[in-house]
Amino acid sequence: MKRKITLFLILSLLITSLAACKDPNKNSEINNGSNDEVIEDDEGKKDNNKDEKITITVQVEKEWREYYEKAADRVKDRYPNANIEFIEKSTVEHIELLDNINPEDEKVADLFTLPLERLYDMEKKYVLGQLDAKSIAENLNISDHYDKGLGAQFKVDDRYMAFPMNIKTLLNFVNTKNAQANDIDTVKDIEFTELSNEDILIPLFDIWYGISFMNATNIELLTKVEPDEFYSDMTRYFSELSVDEEETFRAIFNYWYYSQKEDSKLFSKDEYMDFMDTSFKTGGNTSLRPGSIKSKKHLSKLAEGEINILPIEKLVVMGNPLLQWKDGDGLAINTRIKDDNDKKEITKAMIEEIVNRDYALEFFKETGKILENMDLETYINSDLNERDKKLIKVSYKSYEDAEKRPASKEWEKVSATWEKAILSWNTLNPQTVEEAYEILQYEFKDMINSIK
């Protein structure tokens, strides 16, 4: 009897000791039908189960969706627990949405396209999350020259806020039938001042087009001279301009002046697009129309397929080639996921697959977009049609010759200042280039003062 009691006491002590060894602040629960244990801490927070779905939303334009879905499938091959949902909106619509609602709203995506010109504005509104862009560049084998191109352009201070998606620059589109009918020689350089107003249509009130004239003669619309001090060539008097600069502004003024005389709608912000489309159609008066890479499909349709594509520098003003910016779109993440490492990892993988150089041809075919860090020969030696090959070749040429786009939050004021000044000519009706320039000078002086 005494041995039984002794054995009982030993067993009791052993059970008590084992119970005491268990962490009193932890409890475990077993998933039904699963061997995976989910650990819960004293605050009731659960660690991610390896089978738990991680959902991100991605903004996509309708025409891009098939390509994006294939990219998402490749991400899911790497991350089986990734759930990628799409918000089908154009880039413009999605940016407008971000302008008007909180980035926490589910109507906006975790990953979206960001035009370079909206970088500082979106960053200032706390819409963007910081990206580990250099790591993405390393995974894509483009890290050696990443900071020499658009990658550096998408930085704010020392933070990468988007990853380059595609290049953008200005090209010359030629309706070949109209050019032949209007006796426009596109083999040699095309002198802007020798063309009639309808031979070429450029909405010069838009800085995207106007800057190519400024770059032609190195006119600085805004530059930083000290950490907190800015300067613009436009604050000079007309008499202080060089001969080339004077002639550039004379060309712009004459283009506006005779457009007004002919009752053209080119300088009407509400009507210029319809006017340009009608005039560029085959049988119309317009032979040349500068536009972006994505304009090709639309302009080709207007020209009934009879279209040629030339570098923007083929067009000269007083012998000086027009030069655009090195511009582009980026892929950015919503600030709401900046602290969610799981979602950031999936969005990072999605970025890598969207701009994966192994799929550069599919990317172009399905989105019309051209990668920055890509070997031209990959496109040239492909099954693309000859017109698309020429578009890509000309795009790289114009992009290579283009000026680096200014990157500062203050530069956002330049576009509005330029547009306001040029469009004000419609009501102020200057009769000489000096009068027209004085209006520009006044607006830019006002802009510089507002920055100070």
Q: How far apart are CA 204 and CA 252, in angstroms?
A: 8
Q: pLDDT band at 442, cuts 50/70/90?
A: very high
Q: What is the pLDDT of residues 295-350, one digit of tens each?
A: 999 999 999 999 999 999 999 999 999 999 999 999 999 999 999 999 999 999 99
Q: Which residue has the tokens 């002919």?
A: 262
Q: pLDDT band at 156, cuts 50/70/90?
A: very high
Give the angle 206-210-215 at the CA atoms, nearest 5°. 150
Q: Please compute the mean of the pLDDT values over residues 383-396 and round it to a whole number.
A: 95
| Angular region, 314: left φ>0, alpha ψ -120 to 50, beta rest | alpha
H or E stretch at 56: strand 54-60
Q: Please compute the mean of the pLDDT values over residues 432-439 and round it to a whole number.
A: 98
Is the model's pLDDT at 171 over the cut of 50? yes
Residue 110 φ then ψ, to 5°: -75, -30
Is the model's pLDDT at 33 over the cut of 60? no
Is the model's pLDDT at 438 over the cut of 80? yes
Residues paired with residue 289 on neighbouring β-strands, in sequence order: 173
Q: Which residues contact 118 (CB under 8 A, 6 or more apart)?
A: 95
Count CB neighbours of 9 within 10 A.
10
Supply the mean pLDDT for the chain.
89
Q: pLDDT band at 29, cuts 50/70/90?
A: very low
Task: Classify 170-323+408-451 by CATH class.
Answer: alpha beta
Q: Please compute the mean of the pLDDT values over residues 423-438 and round it to a whole number.
A: 98
Note the pLDDT of residue 263. 87
Please tell me which residue, 52 or 164, carries the higher pLDDT value. Answer: 164
Q: Which residues contact 188 (CB under 8 A, 6 or more apart)?
A: none
Q: What is the pLDDT of residues 111-136, one digit of tens each?
A: 999 999 999 999 999 999 999 999 99
DSSP symbols for 299-326: HHHHTTT-EEEEEGGGEEETTEEP--EE
Count CB neighbours of 62 within 10 A.
9
DSSP 381: T
Q: How far apart are CA 321 and CA 44, in angstroms?
A: 67
Q: pLDDT band at 373, cuts 50/70/90?
A: confident
Is residue 352 within 8 Å of 244, Cβ to Cβ?
A: no
Please list the residue range(s) of the chain that carry CATH number 3.40.190.10: 54-167+328-390, 170-323+408-451
Is the model's pLDDT at 18 over the cut of 80? no
Q: pLDDT exceeding 90 applies to what percent of the chain?
A: 81
DSSP 152: H
Is residue 114 within 8 Å of 162, Cβ to Cβ?
A: yes
Q: pLDDT band at 226, cuts 50/70/90?
A: confident
DSSP 46: B
Which of 321, 279, 299, 285 shows the shortest CA–CA distance to 192? 321
Question: Which CATH number does the domain 54-167+328-390 belong to among 3.40.190.10, 2.60.40.10, 3.40.50.620, 1.20.1070.10?
Answer: 3.40.190.10
Which of 162, 158, 150 shows the shortest CA–CA distance to 402? 150
Is the model's pLDDT at 413 over the cut of 70? yes
Is residue 180 within 8 Å of 285, Cβ to Cβ?
A: no
H or E stretch at 164: strand 163-168
Note the pLDDT of residue 225. 85
Q: How far apart are CA 120 and CA 412, in angstroms?
A: 8
- Could you list the beta-strand ranges (E) of 179-282: 190-191, 223-226, 229-231
Is the model's pLDDT at 246 over the cut of 70? yes
Q: What is the pLDDT of residues 55-108, one digit of tens each?
A: 999 999 999 999 999 999 999 999 999 999 999 999 999 999 999 999 999 999
Q: What is the pLDDT of residues 273-290, one digit of tens each?
A: 999 999 999 999 999 999
Q: Which residues contact 234 (CB under 8 A, 6 or more apart)?
A: 219, 221, 440, 441, 444, 445
Is the model's pLDDT at 9 over the cut of 80? no
Is the model's pLDDT at 25 over the cut of 80? no
Q: Please compute the mean of the pLDDT values over residues 435-451 and round it to a whole number.
A: 96
